[in-house]
């Protein structure tokens, strides 16, 4: 047990993109940081817990355009959903930063200028492969089969003026940071970073985009044709939110360097290499730890915005309570590995640990105090067999939990707490209070058994209050504990509650769930959610300067009806489906970028319009012998299906 009165502690989540509503993946990092922050507060630390939203960039600009609103209007709406979710999940952050906040914008401009003045940012030329429709530059190694990795289309050589950040001067220091210190948790990931990014030579980073293509960003003050690259903007949040280079806050000296930045593996590189390099260039202290966790996956895929709608934290919270969801995701995720989300595992976990384990322990104990003693224990109590072991385990728990919190291993901390819950349930079986109750002379022993159970519940519920902050106060009310009893210091002590404590029977804290019925209902819900997801309609824009063609030009295109006889995903390209078609005269294969919009089984047996005389092209290893017609609106694509005409019919 370590008390840390007044010592500072600074913990951060990533700042999330408000490009879609938050999902259970975002909940994990935020609930984990919240639990650590709450635990640190209990330990006496003066805590700053920061979260927020990363609101600039092309993606947001495009999404806003699709909806026909300004980027700011677009993010304002989604930020409200994030904040509502954090309130719902009982996330007690100290500060919420939005990268569109004025103070952050001006501070980032100063940071950029400072890096420029120090000679670490210079103007150069960005040369690379450019995908025009995606407006993205790619390096050769990022291309997939020489094509844009996002859309599979051809890229062209292009160059543009840009600012670069010199990374190479920091390579040695960063390598040492990753391999010789405990900055990165778990350290096993250090090797992969060093081998992939540092050993081949740290490349300078392009840190601006021209504002012709991309306006929704922070302008470079001394060259307004450029906006600051989103990651320079985003990473700076960890210091601007404390008041670095701005007067809005005055906490930088107190809280920097951060004690923990927690992120998932997708953004580890930015926090393990680029962020330390920026701080080194600015001559600022480095954060103490970067805790990297895996992904919550669903059917083997990273939970994404679209899947996130299916596993909507509001829907789950509504059914099982926010604390049960917090518990489940934190108990399942081991630092460093992925955790697969499944409704079955979640419901079983809630039933086993929360309903049968903790819930039962609390309700049985309180019910027995009521039944055998009218709710108030007598002063005279007599200790006996099994007490010592229970007391030893309960009072040793805090040290073990402290150790796991220090290592950000929340799943292990929770597992240890629940070992004591099981120990207490076993103690009930060992001491058999219902047998003791049969004989009046056993009353002092019975009172002691129940008192020991109440004390154990006090200890575990105090430690658990960092993880499940909504439910534990209800437990305290039921076991007759007041706020002075449930302090961190008291978790190492036994005998804190008065001997003559009075309990209050109350609601069941975690009701047991009927697994089969619930899975059925969840599946139905998922089905209906899927249907209820209309894509936002975008008003089509009238094209300008379209060259007119003659009927002869059009006649050059051979359009025919074809039937899809088979369909499968293309392993190497997420966006492509491989279609086998009967074009009325034979079989041919077409690769089409519609995987995001259709499942293979939805297409088989359908008739479509085929551009039959297109030159064959190889797309991600598939020879595509033609093209199928589809309509596009915003983010939605609909294949044009044909009814009533046999395969091979000509379309004119
Ligand atoms: N805006 C950047 C971060 C900038 S930090 C200076 C970004 N945003 S994000 O919205 O994509 O959020 C990524 C983070 O959300 C992950 O690092 C992780 O914390 C959380 N998660 C998003 N999906 C997740 C899972 N499926 N599983 C676990 N965590 C997930 O990247």
Residue whose CA is closest, atom 15 of ligand 1? 26
Q: How far is the CA of 65 from the centre of ligand 1 (A)?
A: 23
Residue whose CA is closest, atom 30 of ligand 1? 25
Atom of ligand 1 nearest to the CA of 235: 6
Burial call 455-477: b when 16+ CB within 10 Å, e when fewer: bbbbbbbbbbbbbbbbbbeebbe
Residue 372: count other Cβ atoms within 10 Å of its Cβ. 17
Does position 529 have pLDDT exceeding 80, yes or no?
no
Residue whose CA is closest, atom 20 of ligand 1? 26
Q: How far is the CA of 197 from the centre of ligand 1 (A)?
A: 21
Q: What is the pTM of this model?
A: 0.80
Average pLDDT over residues 441-455: 98
Residues near ligand 1 with C-beta < 6 Å?
14-17, 25-26, 28-29, 54, 234-235, 237, 263-264, 266-267, 295-296, 302-303
Q: Residue 305: what pLDDT?
A: 67
Q: Residue 352 class from Cβ within 10 Å (0-12 exposed, 13-18 middle, 19+ buried)?
A: exposed
Range with the poorest average pLDDT among 476-485, 526-535, 540-549, 583-592:
526-535
Q: How far is the CA of 627 from the centre of ligand 1 (A)?
A: 36
Residue whose CA is closest, atom 13 of ligand 1? 16
**For the segment 599-636, what is each residue's pLDDT rounded down to a tens digit?**
887 788 889 999 999 999 988 888 999 999 999 887 78
Q: How far is the CA of 312 from the centre of ligand 1 (A)?
A: 16
Tell me the best of 15, 22, 23, 26 to mutate to test the pocket of ligand 1, counting ligand atoms within 8 Å of each CB and taking the most.
26
Atom of ligand 1 nearest to the CA of 308: 26
Q: How far is the CA of 595 from the centre of ligand 1 (A)?
A: 24
**For the segment 25-81, what is each residue's pLDDT rounded down to a tens digit?**
999 999 999 999 999 999 999 999 999 999 998 889 888 988 899 999 999 999 999
Residue whose CA is closest, atom 5 of ligand 1? 14
d(Cα 631, Cα 614) in Å, to the nearest integer?
18
Q: Residue 433: what pLDDT?
A: 98
Cα of 196 vs its chain's centroid, Å? 24
Atom of ligand 1 nearest to the CA of 19: 10
d(Cα 307, Cα 299) in Å, to the nearest integer?
10
Q: What percentage of the chain reaches a pLDDT higher than 70? A: 96
Average pLDDT over residues 566-583: 89
Average pLDDT over residues 177-187: 94
Tell me the best of 28, 325, 340 to mutate to test the pocket of ligand 1, counting ligand atoms within 8 Å of each CB and taking the most.
28
pLDDT band at 535 (very low <50, low <70, confident <90, very high): low
pLDDT band at 532 (very low <50, low <70, confident <90, very high): very low
Q: Are 60 and 71 in contact (CB under 8 A)?
A: yes
Atom of ligand 1 nearest to the CA of 295: 27
Average pLDDT over residues 165-170: 96
Q: How far is the CA of 391 from the centre of ligand 1 (A)?
A: 41
The residues, ordered by sequence, that sit 6+ positions from 375 with a Cβ below 8 Å of its Cβ are 369, 502, 503, 504, 505
Q: Residue 33 has which token pair?
A: 């940081």
Does position 300 have pLDDT exceeding 80, yes or no?
no
Choose among 567, 574, 640, 637: nearest CA to 602. 567
Choose among 140, 160, 158, 162: nearest CA to 149. 140
Residue whose CA is closest, atom 16 of ligand 1? 264
Residue whose CA is closest, atom 9 of ligand 1? 16
Q: Residue 615: what pLDDT?
A: 92
Residue whose CA is closest, atom 25 of ligand 1? 25
Tell me the best of 13, 16, 294, 297 to mutate to test the pocket of ligand 1, counting ligand atoms within 8 Å of each CB and taking the most.
16
Residue whose CA is closest, atom 18 of ligand 1? 264
**For the segment 494-503, what is each residue's pLDDT rounded down to a tens digit?**
999 999 999 9
Q: Residue 145: what pLDDT?
A: 87
Atom of ligand 1 nearest to the CA of 339: 27
Q: Are 472 and 510 in contact (CB under 8 A)?
A: no
How is the beta sheet containing 136-138 ordered, strand by strand?
136-138, 121-131, 156-165, 205-206
Q: Residue 446: what pLDDT?
A: 98
The residues, ordered by sequence, that sit 6+ positions from 363 with a Cβ below 8 Å of its Cβ are 508, 509
**For the segment 369-406, what is each residue's pLDDT rounded down to a tens digit?**
999 999 999 999 999 999 999 999 999 999 999 999 99
Q: Residue 337: what pLDDT?
A: 82
């Amino acid at each position: 047990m370590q008390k840390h009165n007044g010592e500072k502690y600074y913990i951060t989540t990533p700042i999330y993109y408000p490009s879609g509503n938050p999902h259970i993946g975002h909940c994990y990092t935020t609930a984990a940081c919240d639990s650590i922050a709450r635990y640190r507060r209990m330990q006496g630390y003066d805590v700053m817990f920061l979260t927020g939203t990363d609101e600039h960039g092309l993606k947001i600009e495009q999404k806003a355009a699709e909806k026909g609103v300004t980027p700011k209007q677009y993010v304002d709406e989604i930020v409200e959903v994030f904040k509502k979710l954090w309130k719902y999940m009982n996330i007690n952050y100290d500060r919420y930063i939005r990268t569109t906040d004025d103070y952050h914008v001006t501070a980032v401009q100063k940071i950029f200028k400072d890096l420029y003045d120090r000679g670490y940012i210079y103007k150069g030329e960005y040369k690379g492969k450019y995908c025009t429709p995606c407006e993205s530059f790619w390096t050769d190694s990022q291309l997939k089969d020489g094509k844009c990795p996002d859309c599979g289309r051809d890229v062209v050589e292009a160059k543009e003026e840009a600012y670069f950040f010199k990374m190479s001067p920091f390579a040695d220091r960063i390598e040492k940071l990753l391999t010789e210190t405990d900055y990165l948790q778990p350290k096993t990931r250090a090797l992969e970073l060093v081998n992939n990014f540092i050993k081949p030579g740290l490349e300078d980073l392009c840190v601006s985009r021209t504002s012709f293509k991309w306006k929704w960003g922070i302008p470079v003050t001394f060259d307004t044709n450029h906006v600051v690259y989103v990651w320079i903007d985003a990473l700076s949040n960890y210091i601007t939110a404390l008041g670095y280079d701005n007067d809005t806050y005055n906490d930088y000296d107190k809280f920097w360097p951060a004690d923990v930045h927690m992120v998932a593996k997708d953004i580890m590189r930015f926090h393990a290499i680029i962020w330390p390099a920026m701080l080194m260039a600015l001559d600022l202290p480095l954060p103490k730890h970067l805790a990297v966790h895996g992904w919550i996956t669903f059917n083997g895929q990273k939970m994404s915005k679209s899947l996130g709608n299916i596993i909507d934290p509001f829907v789950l919270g509504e059914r099982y309570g926010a604390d049960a969801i917090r518990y489940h995701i934190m108990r399942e995720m081991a630092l460093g590995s992925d955790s697969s989300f499944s409704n079955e595992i979640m419901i079983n976990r809630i039933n086993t640990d929360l309903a049968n384990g903790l819930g039962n322990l609390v309700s049985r104990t309180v019910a027995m105090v009521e039944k055998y003693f009218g709710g108030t224990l007598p002063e005279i109590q007599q200790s006996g067999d099994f007490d010592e072991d229970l007391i030893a385990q309960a009072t040793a728990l805090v040290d073990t939990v402290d150790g796991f919190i220090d290592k950000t291993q929340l799943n292990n901390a929770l597992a240890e707490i629940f070992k004591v819950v099981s120990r207490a349930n076993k103690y009930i079986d060992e001491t058999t209070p219902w047998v003791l109750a049969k004989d009046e002379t056993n009353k002092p022993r019975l009172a002691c058994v129940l008192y020991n159970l109440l004390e154990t519940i006090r200890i575990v519920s105090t430690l658990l209050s960092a993880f499940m902050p909504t439910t534990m106060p209800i437990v305290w009310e039921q076991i007759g504990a007041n706020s002075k009893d449930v302090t961190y210091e008291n978790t190492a002590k036994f005998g804190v509650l008065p001997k003559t404590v009075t309990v209050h029977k109350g609601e069941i804290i975690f009701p047991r769930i009927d697994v089969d019925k619930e899975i059925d209902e969840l599946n139905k819900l998922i089905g209906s959610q899927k249907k209820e997801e209309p894509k936002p309609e975008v008003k089509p824009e009238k094209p300008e300067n379209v060259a007119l063609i003659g009927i002869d030009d059009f006649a050059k295109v051979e359009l025919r009806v074809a039937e899809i006889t088979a369909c499968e995903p293309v392993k190497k390209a997420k966006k492509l489906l491989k279609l086998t078609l009967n074009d009325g005269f034979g079989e041919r294969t077409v690769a089409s970028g519609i995987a995001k919009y259709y499942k293979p089984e939805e297409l088989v047996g359908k008739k479509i319009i085929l551009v039959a005389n297109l030159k064959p092209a190889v797309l991600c290893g598939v020879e595509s012998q033609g093209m199928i017609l589809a309509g596009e609106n915003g983010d939605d694509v609909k294949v044009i299906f044909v009814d009533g005409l046999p395969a091979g019919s000509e379309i004119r």
